[in-house]
Amino acid sequence: MKLTEYTKTNLPIYEVSLDDPPDLRWRGVAATEHRNIAAILRETVRDCTQHADHLPAWIRPLAIPAGKGFARLGGRIVNMVADMFGGEYASEIRSVAAISNQSLGYVMLGNLIYDLTQMGESWGVGCSSFSCDIENTPTLVRNMDWVRPRSTGKHTRLIKFRRGGEHYLSVSVLGCVGVVSAMCPGKWAVTINQAPMNGTRPGYLQWPVLQRLRACCDKMGTYEELVADLQEYQTMTSFFAHVIGTKPGEHTVITGTGSTFWTREPDEACLLQTNHFVGEDLENHNPPEEWEQDGTIWLNDTYRRMRALEKRLPEPPKTLSGARKEILGGPITTTDTMQQMVFQPATGAWRVWVRR
């Protein structure tokens, strides 16, 4: 499998109308992609089942299929999660399950995969991002490294969420109604990087992170409004949100630890983020760079990726193609890199690569 530019894959760019009722929004995607949705959910369930012992007790049954009672159990957990953030996205999840003929519990599991890997402290599942001004225009460059499941790149699709005459473009994974990375032309671009859970204060009965970002993006407000919205509500787990606007200097990383938020703006030419906390007040929450488990030495590569970005970016790249080159090659781009993107909302320019 290699990283291929999305426009050269013959894959579609789907449209989801936010003017439609929630239960109708995903009918085209779910009907067309039902086999692929089934395939990625099978892999997701397999991976979660293998790591279920690391999850909180209340969510563990969702990761371990339990015969005929599993569908009812999944429905109860969907209802519980719906109570956390309202019924709109839960209605979308039910619709995806029904149209693609998949278990509601499985689809719910897929929509909670970010938070579940967080709860299971899956260190090393991560991302790398940087932003800078190229010709006075904010630009965001990002890798998503994600191997649960390994076919995430193959099952990536671009979605245009529309309301009236406006839209934003989301780099989505089939079956998930949340947002991981998105760009609203003329306004902003944003990506989520996974953050450590060690020592943070998550709210397990609060917003799932990807649905929280989706709710903020759906407003299609200004850069300032998006930065503010991402700090408004507690989330189920921790996150880093890397946000840019359209004016020079509009770059922010929002660090959310569940109940508390910090913002960080560039103090150098580029704003960098991988998967550990930056700043003296938060560094004590970071996991070690190496640790031993069951006789095996494991490496958390977030620190190596950050050091590589720092070395490569003493000053901003001069072009969009040059910006992408700064993240190519190890240790930043690896076989775990499933998505790669460059966003420039001021000009509306975007390029996305997926691992096929």
Q: What is the pLDDT of residues 148-179, one digit of tens each?
A: 788 999 999 999 999 999 999 999 999 999 99
Specify whether the CB–CB gap between 97 and 37 falls below 8 A: no
Report pLDDT for 122. Answer: 59
pLDDT at 78: 63
pLDDT value for 219: 97
* φ, ψ (nearest 5 deg) of residue 73: -65, -45
- What pLDDT shows up at residue 193? 96
* Residue 198: how many other CB atoms lie within 10 Å: 14
Name the nearest CA neighbour of 127 among 259, 274, 247, 239. 274
Residues 172, 174, 179, 182, Cα dihedral to 10°? 10
Confidence (pLDDT) at 210: 94
Looking at residue 292, its pLDDT comes to 73
pTM for the model: 0.94
CA–CA dist 294, 284 (Å, integer): 25
Whether the Cβ atoms of residue 168 and residue 223 lie closer than 8 Å to each other: no
- Say what the pLDDT of residue 67 is: 43
Domain boundaries, the chain: 18-119, 126-355
Q: In what order do the strands lie in the sheet with 188-194?
A: 13-17, 156-163, 166-173, 181-184, 188-194, 239-244, 251-256, 261-264
For the chain, how far is it from start to end, CA to CA, in angstroms?
5
CATH assignment, 126-355: 3.60.60.10
Q: Which of 182, 147, 117 is nearest to 1 (CA)?
A: 147
- In the chain (356 residues long), the average pLDDT of successive 10-residue segments reads 94 98 97 97 83 66 53 61 74 94 86 82 75 97 91 97 97 97 98 85 78 96 98 92 98 92 93 94 86 74 95 96 96 95 98 96
Structure token pair of residue 58 = 């209340």
> Which residue in 355, 329, 319 sits closest to 340, CA to CA?
355
Rounded Cα gap, residues 90 and 82, in angstroms: 5
Alpha helices, DSSP H only, in 56-159? 69-85, 88-100, 104-111, 113-119
d(CA 256, CA 276): 12
Contacts of 26-32 with C-beta under 8 Å, sequence gap 24+, read 26/92, 26/95, 26/96, 26/99, 26/177, 27/95, 27/99, 29/96, 29/157, 29/159, 29/174, 30/95, 30/96, 30/99, 30/100, 31/99, 31/100
